[in-house]
Structure 1
Amino acid sequence: MHQKTGFPPRPLRGVRAVYARQAGCPSDFADVTVDFEPGEEGVAFESSADLSLRGDATPEELAEFGAAVADGVREELAALETGTTVAVAVVLRAIGVHAMDSHPGAFHRAGRLAVRNALSLARPPAGPERLQSSPES
């Protein structure tokens, strides 16, 4: 019997995810910083009122990119192993765009990557390795 675990186990703030792929033209670029806060069961997503923008984007593009991040976050969280209860409020804090290479697909991938990065941060740190004691002479 597996014990249920929750995500996130604690606030995970300032989680950055950069998705950059250059394989010709066009390329892919998305840079996001999000907070993962424990919340109600499920996934609540919002953009911060003081969202930091690196680069230039219209309000319509920002809305489209933010929606793509939210979709990527939800998709990645839905793929977590059985027994994980997701109860999270996700806040988009910063977004970086490139004039030519940013598009919704790149931000979707960045949303998925942000969850993976948060999961890595949520794992308990490995304890210090135990040193072998040498016999005293």
Structure 2
Amino acid sequence: MNGTGDDALPFPRQPIRDVVATYSRQAGCPGDFAQVTVDFEPWEEGFAFEVAREARIPADPEVANYVAALEEGLRAELTERVPGCAVAVVLRRLLIHEVDSREGSFRQVGRVAVRVALARG
């Protein structure tokens, strides 16, 4: 029991590493593209997000907006699919296309990453 009266298991029960998620849509030019590799780790409480040192994310305002949008997408999908989960998400890799990447692409890839992790976890 988790104290709420149901037998739901927490998410994630164990680390889920190297989750690769891609969001790609080519309906015209420009299209949409984002790819990330993230780890989902059990956490004490709530949602935490961090960028791994080895990720070597460029110190660029546009890239910072992509990372923030990724975090938004992760948080939104987790809130919808696993409310009340305790998880830390660690960004390991971020792949950007110079024409087709945008904030919306990274919001969507965050949602995809949660779905992939749930399927694996």
Q: d(CA) in 2 for partners of 1:107 and 1:85?
A: 23
Q: Distance in 1 between matches of 2:15 and 2:115?
A: 15
The secondary structure found in structure 2 opposite 1:98 is: coil
Tell whether the 8 Å contact from 1:4 to 1:85 is kept in structure 2 after alignment: no
User: Whose helix fraction is larger, Structure 1's or Structure 2's?
Assistant: 2
Q: CA deviation at 1:58?
A: 5.8
2:30 matches 1:18: no
Structure 1 stretches (4+) deviating beyond 4 angstroms? none
Q: Helix, strand or coil for the counterpart of 1:50?
A: helix
The reply on whether 1:30 has 2:57 as its aligned counterpart is: no
Which structure 2 segments of 5+ residues have no match?
Answer: none
Q: Deviations over 1:83-106 (max 9, x none)?
A: x54111100000001010000000
Could you tell me the TM-score, scaled by structure 2's length?
A: 0.89
Q: Counterpart of 2:86 in 1: which secondary structure?
A: strand
**Counterpart of 2:51?**
47
Listed as ranges, the gaps of 5+ residues in structure 1 are 123-137
* CA root-mean-square deviation: 1.6
- Read off the aligned partner of 1:65 and give its amino acid letter: Y
Structure with higher strand content: 1
Deviations 1:49-102 (A, max 9, x none): 12156xxx6621221111111000000000025xx5411110000000101000
- C-alpha deviation, 1:2, in angstroms: 3.6
Secondary structure at the residue paired with 1:31?
strand
SS in 2 for 1:23: coil
TM-score by length of 1: 0.79
CA 1:89 to 1:45, structure 2 compared with 1: closer, same or farther past 3 Å? same
